[in-house]
Amino acid sequence: MTYTANEMMTVAAARALTNDDVCFVGIGAPSAACNLARLTHAPDITLIYESGTIATRPNVLPLSIGDGELCETALTTVSVPEMFRYWLQGGRITLGFLGGAQIDRFANLNTTVVGPYDSPRVRLPGGGGAPEIATHCGQIFIIMAQGRRGFVDRLDFVTSMGHGEGGDHRERLGVRTRGPTKVITDLCVMEPDPVTKELTVVSIHPGVTRDKIVENTGWPIRFAGTVAETPAPTERELAVLRDLQERTRRAHAGEGTAGEQAAARTGGK
């Protein structure tokens, strides 16, 4: 089957998740990957969103953390202070899944501004809960389309800490969680070097060359000694992902009867 680079990225990210994960989910690409995993190989994964929804099972992808779809399909919903103080800061969430506008070689993220803070070229949505997620989840996965505008040598603003300046920087600051352990892009999969923590390409997606990865990275990217080829999406993975995206499109466009929209929100139950 043919597939897009974005579908390859989403599928590769979904495969990294397991049934045992308790996952704090970001909106957008992280949400698509997490729900694809839930609908395929990890039906028992626990998905948590920043608005306080726990074990949510959305039938369509949410527009924001305040989307009613999340609360309606959750096992329970708690207050935002409880979510952060008890669940996140209490060490009860094993994995955070984030995206960003910019990332550097040590997986630090910027979602605040592009350009000088006082007079930016672009003002981004901001950190929200991402800085806390990056610090307190057991580990972090990051999903981003790869290009020189986003994969930069130096961030314009550090919103969420990855591995800081590299090496043992997190540990020196007293942060006990693992930080980013995997970065999934539309070209490849990266993991931090065990010692330096610099992002290193460990898997390249089908049809992508090393030169293309180099061209789309704003620093001299490193490759592991042995680099695998990412398995292509299966027919089932693509079918489930495309069905999810089409349901989402229809729901957000207000298509279908009221009954059909209600059924979409509840999974037809």
Catalytic residues: 50
Residue 93, sorted as left (phi over 0), alpha (psi -120 to 50) or beta, turns out to be beta
Greatest alpha-carbon span in the chain: 57
- Interatomic CA distance for residues 105 and 242, integer angstroms: 32
Bridge partner list, 53? 77
Contacts of 59 (CB under 8 A, 6+ apart): 69, 73, 247, 264, 265, 266, 267, 268
The phi and psi torsions of 85 (rounded to 5 degrees) equal -75, -45
Radius of gyration over every alpha carbon of the chain, rounded to an integer in angstroms: 18
* 143 in Cβ contact with 11 (< 8 Å): no
